[in-house]
Amino acid sequence: MEYESVLIVKPEVFIYKIPPRASNRGYRAADWNLKEPTWTGRMRLVAKGTACILKLEDKTSGALFANCPIDTYPGVAIEAVSDSSRYFVIRVQDDNGRSAFLGLGFGDRSDSFDLNVALQDHFKWVKNQEQIEKEKTEPKQELDLGFKEGETIKINMRITKKDGSEGSSRTGKGKSTGGVLPPPPGGLAKIAPPPAAPAAATLRQSPAASPAHRTSGGGGAGTEWTDYASAGGNQGQQNSANANWVQF
């Protein structure tokens, strides 16, 4: 059993007699006699299942003035005018199926906005219900995740060992190296020994030592040094020090 639900109620609306549409440019509220509405009363928008009906009723008694069944929106049953957001053209029907087009107006733009939103929400819900029913009747296409003939799959897995290190699930032939890199080709490189130190020091003779300072005969080394020191003075001492440096 379907219950009737009220979508929106507006306590005051205005109904106008409208002239026939002159062209395909749409209805214009400026062509109506807006100062003298034909009828003033209450409007209720109700839904019963997927059906939607706009009802015009008396303010006091609630007596029905006209019904406007709406099967889609926007559509022929209710259409906005081209020159105002507060006015619509509705198609009313009686019990015998006869229909007529009347002008519907609101005193405030917020009322016409509420009617727009209520109609859009209702037919959006109807569309969702139709989609749900369609999915129930039509069989769903099952997703085939099986392998086709000739298809293969390759998986790389990383396995954590007990010591916390990670290893590949692949195992190669041969003995494991335990994580140590193999030596380069050709074996271990040989390190050359360091160069040997000089075998002996070479004494270079000072240019200050001249034949004039040599003693004749078989004099000793002490005599030569004494003569050299007495002859050269301090300069001889400096030259003697230079004669004793060693080159390695």
Tens digits of residue pLDDT in 37-85: 999 999 999 999 889 999 999 999 989 999 999 999 888 999 999 889 9
Confirm whether 146 is domain-assigned: no
* pLDDT confidence tier of residue 194, bands split at 50, 70 and 90: low
Residue 234 lies in a domain: no
Q: Does 124 reside within a domain?
A: yes
> What's 91's domain CATH number?
2.30.29.30
β-sheet bridge partners, residue 66: 56
Is 57 part of a structural domain of the chain?
A: yes
Confidence of residue 21 (pLDDT cuts 50, 70, 90): confident
Residue range 125-155, pLDDT digits in tens: 999 988 888 877 876 677 777 778 888 888 8
Position 20 in a domain: yes
* Residue 161, domain member (yes or no): no
| Residue 152 falls inside a structural domain | no
Exposed e or buried b for every residue in 163-174, given b needs 16+ CB within 10 A?
Answer: eeeeeeeeeeee
Longest CA–CA separation in the chain, Å: 168
Instruction: Tell me if 182 is assigned to some domain.
Output: no
Q: What single DSSP character describes residue 205?
A: P
Using pLDDT thresholds of 50, 70 and 90, give the confidence band for residue 173: very low
Output the pTM of the full model: 0.54
How many domains are there within the chain?
1
pLDDT in tens, 197-226: 555 444 444 444 444 444 444 444 444 444
Q: Which residue range forms the structural domain that includes residue 8?
A: 4-137
In this prediction, residue 214 carries a pLDDT of: 45
Q: Which residue has the higher pLDDT, 191 or 138?
A: 138
Q: Which of 59, 50, 47, 48 is nearest to 10 (CA)?
A: 59
User: Which residue blocks in 31-152 are alpha helix, DSSP H?
Assistant: 109-137
Q: What is the pLDDT at residue 165?
A: 65
Q: Which parts of the chain fold into alpha helices (H)?
A: 109-137, 221-243
